């Protein structure tokens, strides 16, 4: 079984959801452990480290590249 690591952090829930959707479209599954916890009982102190996406350690480099490419402006 593969180790799960934090592969990305986001300042907002919508950003994390978009990133997770993008990664899924590329065939990479991630988990957002804070998704339901924060929606059920929001505690601002929990957001000190942002919204976390967890992924498999061996996918980390590919995840980083996908997310980095998604942030580049179009030059077309």
Question: Which tens digits make up the pLDDT trace of 13-68?
Answer: 888 999 999 999 999 999 998 766 555 555 565 566 778 899 999 999 999 999 99
Quote the CA–CA distance of 10 and 53 in Å, as a whole number. 8
Domain definitions of the chain by residue range? 4-71
User: DSSP strand E in the chain: where?
Assistant: 4-10, 51-56
Residue-level pLDDT at 1: 60
pLDDT at residue 50, rounded to an integer: 78
pTM above 0.85, yes or no: no
| Distances in whole angstroms, Cα of residue 47 to Cα of each of 1, 16, 27 | 29, 13, 28
What are the CA-CA distances from residue 37 to residues 24, 31, 46, 48, 73 (Å)? 22, 13, 10, 14, 33
The CATH code of domain 4-71 reads: 3.30.70
């Amino acid at each position: 079984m593969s180790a799960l690591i934090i592969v990305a952090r986001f300042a907002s829930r919508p950003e994390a959801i978009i990133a997770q959707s993008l990664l899924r479209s590329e065939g990479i599954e991630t988990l957002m452990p804070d998704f339901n916890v924060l929606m059920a009982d929001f505690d601002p102190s929990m957001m000190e480290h942002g919204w976390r996406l967890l992924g498999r350690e061996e996918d980390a480099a590919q995840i980083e590249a996908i997310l980095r490419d998604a942030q580049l402006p179009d030059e077309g």
